[in-house]
Amino acid sequence: MATGFMAVLRLAGKGVHFTLAAFCLLLSSALAAQEVGLAGIIGSKALLKINGGAPRAVPVGTTVDGVKVVSVQGEQVVVEINGRKRPLKVGQNAVGVAASSDSDRLVLQADGQGHFFTTGTINGVSVRFLVDTGASMISLGASDARRMGLDFNRGQKGISQTANGQVVVSKIQLDNVRIGGMTLHQVDAVIHQTDLPIALLGMSVLNRMEMQRDGSTMTLKKRF
């Protein structure tokens, strides 16, 4: 078996390692904040239904599953999802809110556990990313790679150190990666032989960005 390179992939950045089961729970939590409904108002708390779940009383200034209650004023509540503020009245929903972006900048909002997620494309195919500064490259599971027409057997074989031990991966170069309004060309990536809970947006992309962190907000700006 050829081992022409060593890829370092830590599944959650900041050196925090998760088991596969725990990472799947993290993923389901992050993806939940796609539909937010206001069920009621109790004093300075908003009764939020997140992705159809049971109403939860969330105080002003608190973030739950990536949804922050910004203010409660009379019959209106302002929530912030992925950096975008949305006013809601009782019975109203905010559905399918995406991270705000422009042509050369992407603003992301941390979920309740401090992780950043975004949706982008690889070679024109949609993919959900976890931003991971501990991953040396974009990392794709087998199913995502097949969906994008990427062949594991055509890449340079190597070893990746993950939270579940060493695994064989295949290093390839992606034609293009798009997040927000930014497109990068000729981006290094690794494909795993097995599925991953989510694609990792690693340093092969992040090294080409300016990254600014301000509390629960991360701004990515394209450098080249």
Does 35-95 carry CATH code 3.30.1330? no
- How many whole angstroms separate alpha carbon 102 and alpha carbon 107? 9
Residue 2 has pLDDT above 60, yes or no: no
Residue 180 has pLDDT above 50, yes or no: yes
Question: How high does pLDDT run on average in the chain?
Answer: 80
- How many whole angstroms separate alpha carbon 163 and alpha carbon 17? 5
Same fold, 6-30+99-222 and 35-95: no
Q: What confidence tens digit (pLDDT) does each residue in 197-213 have?
A: 999 999 999 999 999 99
Query: What pTM does this model have?
Result: 0.58
- How many whole angstroms separate alpha carbon 120 and alpha carbon 60? 31
Q: What is the DSSP string of 101-156?
A: EETTEEEEE--TTS--EEEEEETTEEEEEEE-TTBSSEEE-HHHHHHTT--GGGSE
Does 6-30+99-222 carry CATH code 1.50.10.20? no
Residue 52 has pLDDT above 80, yes or no: no
Domain residue ranges of the chain, discontinuous segments joined by +: 6-30+99-222, 35-95
- In this prediction, residue 95 carries a pLDDT of 55
- In this prediction, residue 84 carries a pLDDT of 77
